[in-house]
Amino acid sequence: MSENLSPSRNRAFFIAGLGVALLIAVFLSPFASKNPDGLDRVSQDLKFDHKAAEDAPARKLPFAHIFDEYALKGVPEAVATPLAGLAGTLATFGLAWGIGKLVVRGSGSSSKDEQASPDSEPSDQPLD
């Protein structure tokens, strides 16, 4: 198999995966349950939901004023959740892609050094 097909196959795989994730985030998120999620439900069942911090550290983050629960603030309610899903999916994909590029770049430099001189024989002399 040709090595030239590998990058294009990887690119197609990532684009298809991102596309599916975006379709799910945008078109299925409005159908999500309005009931409390796992931790909220447990805190309500065990009667400690009133102990939640009013001034939580997460609310001090720069983007905390843009998102409210699972919706985007300042836009019509009908599109607030799909837009939040779109933004969250793109942010998560971007972070994962960036970290992946850094990891691959870091591990690729040592293998390039080893491949630079495939003809040279290993030396029996100790390194100083």
Contact 84, 72 (CB under 8 A): yes
**pLDDT string in tens for the chain (128-residue length):** 445 568 888 889 989 999 999 999 999 988 887 877 888 888 888 988 777 777 777 778 877 778 777 788 888 988 988 999 999 999 999 999 999 989 988 776 555 445 554 555 555 555 65
Write down the pTM of the prediction. 0.65
Interacting residues of 64 by C-beta distance below 8 A, sequence separation 6+: 58
Residues, the chain? 128
Give me the torsion for CA of 95, 41, 59, 86, rounded to 10°: 40
Between the alpha carbon of residue 102 and those of residues 18, 48, 54, 107, 113, the distances in Å are: 20, 42, 37, 9, 18
Contact 56, 50 (CB under 8 A): no
Interacting residues of 92 by C-beta distance below 8 A, sequence separation 6+: none
- DSSP code per residue over 5-20: HHHHHHHHHHHHHHHH
